[in-house]
Amino acid sequence: MNSSESGKMEPMSTSLLESQFNCRPLRGHCVYFIGIGGIGMSAVARILINEGCIVSGSDLRISPLTSSLEGLGAKINTKQDGSFMSSETDMVVVSASITEDNPDLKTARKLGIKVVKYSQILGSLMKEKRGVAISGTHGKTTTSAMISTILKTSGLDPTFVIGGEVPDIGGNAHLGKGNLFVAEACEYDRSFLNLTPQVGVITNIEEDHLDYYENIEKIIHAFGDFASSISEDGLLVVNDHDNNTVVAARRANCKVETFSLDNASDWCGEVLSGSSGLKRFRVFYRDAFFHEFSLQIPGSHNVLNALAATAVCTFIGVDKDSIKTALASFRGANRRFQIVGVKNGITVIDDYAHHPTEIRVTLRAARELYPEKRIWCVFQPHQFSRTRHLLKEFARSFQNANRVILADIYATRDNDYEKTAMNATKLYEETRNSGIDIQYIPQLSDIVNVLYSSVSPGDIVMTMGAGDVWKVAYDLVSRF
C-alpha cells in the first residue's frame, strides 16, 4: 500500500508550505528529505535551500547530486536508520520509492513531524507561479530542459525542476524571479495530479510503472486526469503520433494543440538532411511556415521534443527567433546521449534509457550519427518488475547495436516476489534468441575490464539505464 492510500499522508492544501510554516519566505525552517539523492528530490531541496530553509536528509547512495547539495550546506547521511531525524524538524519530504517500513519515516511518524510527498511540495511551489508541467512516458526531461532553456535565455528567469542536470542553465533546479514554474510531471503513483499547471504537455503514453498501474487503460485514464487538471485558460500540447495521448487529451477543458512529424498536426516538423546525424527541421503552424530550426542533439525524437517546447513557449509569448537561438545552442541534459569522453579514438556515451522504446530510439539516433562504426551497448535493467512486464520488448530493442553487454538488474521498489520471478539471465536468453550478440556480465567493474580489453579505435560505447550504470562510462574513460 502506498502512503496516500493508507490515509497517512496529509491532503494537498491551498499552500502546503504556508500552512506548515505560516509565513513566507521560509528562511530558517528545517526540512528533512528521505531519499534526497533522487533527481526530483534533490531539485526541490536545492530550491528550498535557496529559499533559506535548513535542509537535511538521507539517501542510501552517495552521488554527485548529494555532494552538490552538501556543497550548498545540506546535511546528508547514508544510514537512513532514523538516527539523524530530529524533533526540531518542521517537515519531512518523502520520495515515491519510500515505504512505510523505512526507519527514517517511522521515526518521523513517532515524533509527530508533518510528512508530505515530493509531488505535494512540488505542487505547492508551482501554485505560487504560472505552472508548466511536462508529462509523458518518454522525453519529459529533454522537453523540460528545452523549455527552461528557451525561457531563461529569453530573459524570463523561470523557476524549474528538471529530472536531469542541465549544465548550461545551472543544473536540475533554479529559483527564478519570474512568474513561470517549469516541472516534470511524473505519472508514477499518480504524482502529477498534485500539480495545477496552466500549461501542460503529454509527450507520449506507453506501458510503464506496471508495478503501480494494472494496465495501459489505467495509465491512459491517469493521463486523462492530468489533462483535465490544466486550467481552462491554459494550453495542453500533445503528440498525436501517439493515439494514447489523443485519447487522454479528450478529457482536457482547455485549448489543445497537437504536434508531430505529420502535416495533419497543429505543429508539424519537417526534418531536413542533417550533417553528421544532427537535425535541421522546418516548423509549420497550422499549415503556415513558422520557422527553420536546428538541434545539436541527434534523433528525430528530439525534433518532437523541440516541437512541444516551441508550442509551449509560443503560447507563453516567446518570439520565434529567440526559440530558434535557444534550440540551436541547446546541448541537452546529462545522461541524455551525453558524450562522457573521446579517448584513443573511442567515443563513450551515457544515456538514461531504461524502457524498450527509449533504448530503440537512442540506438537509432546513434546509428544515424555513427553509421559505419561498431556500437557497444551496456544495458543495466532498472527494476525487476519492469523487466518482467516488458521482457520481450526489451529483447527486441537492441537491433542497432553491434554488441550488447547486460548487467545485473538494478533493484528499486521491487518486492520479494518480483526478485524471484525475474532475473537478468532470462533477459539475456530472450535477447540472444532474438539474434543479438549479447554477453551477460553481472558486475559493473567486470564490464569495465571487458570493455577496456575489447574495444578498438573508432568504436562507440553506450551505457544505458536509470541505475548506476553511468559509472561504467566514467570508469572506462578514466582507464583510457
Q: What would the pLDDT profile of 173-203 be if each residue is shown by its tens digit?
A: 999 999 999 999 999 999 999 999 999 999 9
Distance CA 373, CA 31 (A): 50
pLDDT at 8: 34
Q: Average of pLDDT values for 240-253?
A: 96
Written as nine digits, the cell of 372 is: 559505419
DSSP state of 349: E
Condensed to tens digits (0 to 9), the pLDDT of residues 96-154 reads 888 899 999 999 999 999 999 999 999 999 998 999 999 999 999 999 999 999 999 99
3-state DSSP of 393-451: HHHCCCCCCCEEEECCCECCCCCHHHHHHCCHHHHHHHHHHCCCCEEECCCHHHHHHHH
Active-site residue, selected from the candidate residues 141, 149, 159, 347? 141
> Is 184 assigned a catalytic role?
yes
Closest to 134 (Cα-Cα) out of 162, 156, 166: 162
> Is 75 assigned a catalytic role?
no
Closest to 48 (Cα-Cα) out of 20, 23, 68, 29: 29
pLDDT at 3: 36
The CB density around residue 214, as the number of other CB atoms within 10 Å, is 8
Active-site residue, selected from the candidate residues 184, 358, 418, 430? 184
Residue 421 reports pLDDT greater than 50: yes
Torsions phi, psi for 197 (to 5 deg): -80, 160
Condensed to tens digits (0 to 9), the pLDDT of residues 42-100 reads 999 999 999 899 999 999 888 889 999 999 999 999 988 888 888 889 999 998 888 89
The β-bridge partners of 93 are: 33, 116
Condensed to tens digits (0 to 9), the pLDDT of residues 380-409 reads 999 999 999 999 999 999 999 999 999 999
Distance CA 332, CA 390 (A): 28
pLDDT category at 24 given cuts 50, 70, 90 is very low
- Helices in 98-173 by DSSP H: which ranges? 103-111, 118-127, 140-153
Condensed to tens digits (0 to 9), the pLDDT of residues 257-295 reads 999 998 789 999 999 976 565 789 999 999 999 999 999
> Is 206 assigned a catalytic role?
no
**What is the pTM (predicted TM-score) of this model?**
0.90
The three-class DSSP label of residue 274 is: coil
Burial of 309 (0-12, 13-18, 19+ CB in 10 A): buried
Written as nine digits, the cell of 190 is: 499518480
The residue among 7 and 465 whose pLDDT is bigger is: 465
Q: Average of pLDDT values for 16-45?
A: 76
pLDDT at 13: 36
pLDDT at 2: 37
| Paired sense of beta strands 30-34 and 375-379, if any | unpaired
Closest to 378 (Cα-Cα) out of 478, 457, 459: 459
Beta carbons of 131 and 236 less than 8 angstroms apart: no
3-state helix, strand, coil in the chain (%, to 5): 40, 25, 40
Distance CA 394, CA 429 (A): 12
The three-class DSSP label of residue 171 is: strand
Residue 23 reports pLDDT greater than 70: no
pLDDT at 28: 79
Written as nine digits, the cell of 106 is: 517511522
Q: List b or e across 161-192, with b for residues whose CB sees 16 or more CB atoms inside 10 angstroms.
A: bbbbbbebbebbbbbbeeebbbbbbbbbbbbb
Q: Average of pLDDT values for 421-435?
A: 97
Residue 11 reports pLDDT greater than 60: no
